[in-house]
Structure 1
Amino acid sequence: MNIHTAVIKNYLLILNFLFVLQLSGFQELQALQKATAKKDVVVLLHGLGRGKSIMEPLKKRLQDAGFFVINIGYKSIDRTPEQIMNDVSVQINAIRVDSNQTIHFAGHSLGGLVIRAYLDSNRVKNLGRVVLIGSPNKGTPFVDYFRDAWWLKLVGPAAASLGTDTKSFPRSLRPPYYPVGIIAGVSKTFDNEDFIPGEDDGVVPVESTKVEGMKDF
């Protein structure tokens, strides 16, 4: 065997090895996609001034329960609700699900309102349930009380839009046409009875988390 034949033989062996390696990786990817296609999808959205990392514990719990979870992040400081909606809509629209998959949504605080706004404008095929966690569906008197505070203005227009007036972001949303459940928390840490009536989580009254047509509370 001359040197040229040996080089060609070794080259062909390398190509064959790379092909087998690529095929193995492709088969693994196919297996992952096939397994994923059998799972229902849950889309998570965090709240105002937070990041997607805050939803990671919930993501892990849902994954352990057998769901395929997509944790969406978005900028909320110094942004309008419309800007946030545009950002989130692009990410949700990029999600592809099979005909046998159901897609659910869960959002904390502002994230829940963004989900409602998205579903107001978009009909999602195979839509399942929506869970709103501490979302100010009727607005919050916290924002009404501190509307002129410098720090609220610093947070931006999305925060300022969460009041209880009829022109607020929450009040602009239509009643849900889909199954929605509400989770509300209660905190005794803050002394805010002067401007938030009843039980609340420090920012949002329990009563304000309720929404017309809710299935669970």
Structure 2
Amino acid sequence: MADPVLLFHGLGRTGLSMLPMARALRRAGFDPHVVDYPSRKHAIGALVETIVSPTVDAALADADRVHFVTHSLGGVLVRAFAAGRADAGTPLPDGSRAVMLAPPHGGSEVADALGDRLPFRATLGPALGELGTGDASVPIGLGPLRGVEAGVIAGTRTFFPFGRLFSGPYDGLVSVESAHAPDGLADRAVVPKTHAMMMMSPLVIGLTIRFLRTGQFAESGDA
């Protein structure tokens, strides 16, 4: 039986953004399921409870393990879910893996800049204010990544005008440092891609499939 792969899009996006990845995963022998969830309507905790948890339970009803491919906010949701399962003593089955594309694990400076502005709060919802770098940051408060074998792919290209907010390479919305922030990652990769389009890149898709199969981004024998 093919392993199920749950795909979670980013804040303000829809499941359509993950369809190229899903098609490639199916061709590679996986059983992908794109989760189209209301990212702009609920806080992170509510999304984990009402979307991620029941979706994972349904996938595991017919499978021995489950994998994830996430973009941006989706990676924080899966990280929070997996940590909660691990802390409760009910971790995901061995061999469950996650590839997280441009997740703001260390918070986003852009969320800091926009989170208090009414037009952006109204458009993107409560999760925006939880993705910053301050004391209220949900991803920073999660601590080490645990409960799932995870690799993170960060990007270094941008067409967004937020360069003054960052001190190092970033993909337009999330820095490489933030994406790779948590202890406990199984592997890390950096690609010359933008935040908005990363999940559609053939390079990123290839790295994702390799990690889901092997638990690493490099080919066997690579330095």
The TM tier, using the shorter chain, reads 0.7 to 0.9
The structure whose Rg is larger is 1
Unaligned segments of structure 1, at least 5 residues: 1-37
Deviation by residue 1:104-154 (Cα, 9 ceiling, x = unmatched): 111100001000111112222244211110000000111112232222221
In the TM superposition, residue 96 of structure 1 has moved relative to its aligned partner by: 3.2
In the TM superposition, residue 195 of structure 1 has moved relative to its aligned partner by: 1.2
TM-score (norm 1): 0.76
Unaligned segments of structure 2, at least 5 residues: 86-90, 189-223
Matched residue count: 179
- Given that 1:142 and 1:196 are in contact with CA atoms closer than 8 Å, whether structure 2 keeps it comes out as no
Q: Which amino acid aligns with 2:37?
A: Y
TM-score (norm 2): 0.74
Which residue of structure 2 aligns with residue 105 of structure 1?
68
- Choose from 121, 126, 147 the match for 2:84: 121
- Choose from 141, 144, 161 the match for 2:109: 141
In structure 2, C-alpha distance between the alignment counterparts of 1:147 and 1:97, rounded to whole Å: 38
Question: What does 1:153-172 align with in structure 2 at a 5 Å threshold?
Answer: 153-154=121-122, 155-172=124-141
In structure 1, C-alpha distance between the alignment counterparts of 2:62 and 2:46, rounded to whole Å: 29
- Given that 2:6 and 2:68 are in contact with CA atoms closer than 8 Å, whether structure 1 keeps it comes out as yes
- Given that 1:103 and 1:126 are in contact with CA atoms closer than 8 Å, whether structure 2 keeps it comes out as no
Deviation by residue 1:83-113 (Cα, 9 ceiling, x = unmatched): 21122122222223556x4321111000010
CA-atom RMSD, angstroms? 1.7
Deviation by residue 1:137-195 (Cα, 9 ceiling, x = unmatched): 00011111223222222122101110001321111213123321111112242332211
In structure 1, C-alpha distance between the alignment counterparts of 2:28 and 2:61, rounded to whole Å: 19
- Residue 82 of structure 1: SS of its match in structure 2? helix
Identical amino acids, percent of aligned pairs: 32
Which residue of structure 2 aligns with residue 181 of structure 1?
151
- Choose from 27, 31, 34 the match for 1:68: 31
1:203 aligns with 2:167: no
Cα gap change, 1:69 to 1:152, in 2 (>3 Å) = same
Which residue of structure 2 aligns with residue 96 of structure 1?
60
